[in-house]
């Protein structure tokens, strides 16, 4: 049983669907539970994504049935009724493993498992970025408490593990399993298939230098920095345009900022897209200006499609990019460094060389297959703990060392 905050379309949610579908394909019975019944990836004035649509998107081309995806109504931060509903689901489904995706689901899963009298193993997969909000700081003692009582914790990056251990997240056992990309869906073939058609539909010419950002519109994604970069690049004579894919609460303010900056005609808003590949294929360069990240799945997807990427050096960016070879890093918030790298990539030959290297690097190091194998191995070891304690201890020690 996978417990999520909501059945959304962000990196953590898509990672969960990918993992659940892979386990189901191997014969495991999987259930996905969203704690909240509402989710909007749209911006102001746009239609919100309907829960039913999200349910269908979770199971599309998958091995899950619609009955395997559940939504509760815990739209308040901490809701006793939602904990009781989840406990009833745990009793009904009787899972052997409960996987909580980030801290709020872990707290609900901890309480609900106890209420249900379940002996299921409880695992936390942590996708959270490195910056703590005020609410995070207030709740951190509670989160540390429940983490210590989980059976295991999985990080998605090495730097993330060290950071959260330094903050007192000390589960009985932990490991790092890096995010992986479905290399059949995200590949250079995708770019070849959609690039010319998408650019034509969007009104982009062959001479336009298209810098793309695929992310939800939230403050931490820092879309404003790309608007500033476009303004500076155009002032230097470069035909730069930005293609922004996604929706969210800050979209209207970013549009207003582009207008105030005098570059609104060079900024394209594609909105929320269930399948981002046709739009990503229109990019010349993929960027992320985030002020905080854990392990960006979209960056890996862009690289797999043969795009050079320019990433703010936060989270695990340094684990994904070989600077100057498979992409580029810049200090978060340093707009001039960001612009200088983008200016250097206004060279089609350089983009081709870096993009080709990025695709090969992701294929060799961040494929979904090895990631999913690691999750299956970890879960198998965890479930065998009571039956074969000595063997499992040895295997757990090996996995921790790895």
Please tell me the distance from the alpha carbon of residue 258 to that of residue 273, in angstroms, as a whole number: 21
Indicate whether 169 and 201 sit together in one domain.
no
Please tell me the distance from the alpha carbon of residue 97 to that of residue 130, in angstroms, as a whole number: 27
Instruction: Confirm if 101 and 3 have CB atoms less than 8 A apart.
Output: yes
Please tell me the distance from the alpha carbon of residue 86 to that of residue 91, in angstroms, as a whole number: 9
Residue 222: which of 202, 200, 242 has the closest Cα? 242
Residue 17: which of 26, 8, 28, 27 has the closest Cα? 8
Task: For residue 100, give Cα distances in angstroms to 41, 45, 104.
Answer: 22, 33, 8
Domain membership of residue 83 (yes or no) is yes
Is pLDDT at 48 greater than 50 in this prediction? no
pLDDT band at residue 44 under the 50/70/90 scheme = very low
pLDDT for 57? 53
Mean pLDDT of 203-228: 95
Chain position carrying tokens 């996604």: 246
Chain position carrying tokens 């009298």: 117
pLDDT for 157? 85
Chain position carrying tokens 């949610």: 13
Domain of residue 123, CATH code: 3.40.50.2000
pLDDT for 391? 47
Dig out the tokens for 186 from the structure. 């995200």
Domain membership of residue 332 (yes or no) is yes
Dig out the tokens for 402 from the structure. 């790895």
Indicate whether 195 and 315 sit together in one domain.
yes
**pLDDT tens-digit series, residues 74-97:** 666 677 889 999 999 999 999 999
pLDDT for 313? 94
Domain membership of residue 96 (yes or no) is yes
DSSP annotation of 384: T
Query: Which of 108-122, 129-143, 204-218 is predicted least confidently?
Result: 129-143
User: What percent of the chain is modeled with pLDDT above 70?
Assistant: 86
Mean pLDDT of 40-64: 47
On average, the pLDDT of the chain sits at 86
Partners of 214 in the β-ladder:
245
Indicate whether 278 and 317 sit together in one domain.
yes
Indicate whether 157 and 22 sit together in one domain.
yes
Higher pLDDT, 324 or 38: 324
- On whether the pTM is more than 0.75, the answer is yes
Q: How far is CA 365 from its chain centroid?
A: 17
Burial class (CB in 10 A: 0-12, 13-18, 19+), 27: exposed
User: What percent of the chain is modeled with pLDDT above 90?
Assistant: 60
Is pLDDT at 299 greater than 90 in this prediction? yes
**pLDDT tens-digit series, residues 331-387:** 999 999 999 999 999 999 999 999 999 999 999 999 999 999 999 999 988 888 755
Task: For residue 70, give Cα distances in angstroms to 3, 61, 121, 170, 214.
Answer: 10, 18, 20, 30, 28
- Cα-Cα-Cα-Cα dihedral of 365, 62, 36, 291, to 10°? 20
pLDDT band at residue 259 under the 50/70/90 scheme = very high
Mean pLDDT of 317-330: 93
Is pLDDT at 36 greater than 50 in this prediction? yes
Instruction: Confirm if 181 and 304 have CB atoms less than 8 A apart.
Output: yes
Instruction: Confirm if 214 and 246 have CB atoms less than 8 A apart.
Output: yes
Domain membership of residue 183 (yes or no) is no
Indicate whether 358 and 393 sit together in one domain.
no
pLDDT for 63? 53
Indicate whether 194 and 172 sit together in one domain.
no
3-state secondary structure of 400: helix
Residue 185: which of 277, 274, 279, 273 has the closest Cα? 277
Is pLDDT at 164 greater than 90 in this prediction? no
- HSE (CB half, 13 Å, CA atoms) of 152? 25
Please tell me the distance from the alpha carbon of residue 59 to that of residue 68, in angstroms, as a whole number: 9
Domain membership of residue 388 (yes or no) is yes
Indicate whether 205 and 346 sit together in one domain.
yes
* Type and span of the H or E element at 389: helix 389-401
Chain position carrying tokens 């999913």: 372
Domain membership of residue 182 (yes or no) is no
pLDDT for 11? 80
Which structural domain, as residue segments, surrounds residue 267?
188-365
């Amino acid at each position: 049983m996978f417990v999520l905050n909501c059945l959304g379309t962000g990196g953590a949610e898509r990672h969960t669907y990918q993992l659940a579908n892979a386990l189901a394909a191997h014969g495991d019975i999987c259930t996905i539970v969203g704690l909240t019944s509402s989710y909007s990836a749209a911006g102001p004035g746009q239609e919100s994504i309907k829960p039913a649509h999200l349910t269908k998107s979770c199971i599309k081309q998958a091995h899950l049935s619609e009955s395997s995806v559940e939504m509760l109504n815990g739209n308040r931060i901490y809701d006793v009724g939602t904990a009781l509903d989840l406990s009833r689901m745990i009793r009904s489904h009787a899972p052997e493993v409960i996987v909580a995706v980030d801290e709020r689901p872990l707290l609900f899963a901890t309480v609900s498992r106890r209420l249900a009298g379940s002996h299921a193993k409880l695992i936390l997969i942590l996708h959270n970025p490195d910056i703590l909000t005020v609410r995070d700081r207030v709740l951190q003692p509670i989160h540390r408490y429940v983490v210590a009582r989980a059976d295991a914790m999985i990080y998605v990056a090495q730097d993330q593990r060290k950071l959260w251990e330094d903050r007192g997240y000390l589960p009985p056992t932990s490991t790092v399993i890096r995010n992986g990309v479905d290399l059949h869906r995200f590949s250079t073939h995708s770019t070849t298939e959609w690039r010319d058609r998408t650019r034509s539909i969007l009104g982009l010419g062959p001479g336009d230098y298209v810098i793309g950002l695929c992310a939800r519109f939230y403050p931490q994604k820092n879309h404003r920095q790309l608007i500033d970069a476009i303004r500076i690049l155009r002032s230097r004579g470069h035909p730069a345009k930005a293609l922004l894919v996604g929706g969210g609460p800050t979209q209207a303010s970013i549009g207003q900022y582009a207008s105030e900056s005098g570059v609104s005609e060079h900024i394209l808003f594609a909105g929320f897209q269930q399948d981002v590949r046709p739009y990503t294929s229109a990019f010349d360069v993929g960027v992320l200006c985030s002020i905080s990240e854990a392990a960006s799945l979209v960056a890996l997807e862009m690289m797999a499609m043969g795009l050079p990427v320019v990433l703010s050096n936060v989270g695990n960016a340094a684990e994904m990019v070989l600077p100057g070879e498979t992409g580029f890093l810049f200090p978060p918030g340093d707009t001039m460094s960001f612009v200088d790298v983008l200016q250097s990539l206004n060279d089609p030959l350089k983009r081709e060389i870096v993009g080709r290297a990025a695709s090969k690097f992701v294929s060799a190091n961040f494929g979904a297959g090895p990631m999913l194998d690691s999750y299956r191995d970890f879960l198998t070891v965890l479930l065998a703990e009571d039956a074969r304690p000595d063997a499992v201890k040895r295997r757990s020690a090996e996995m921790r060392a790895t």
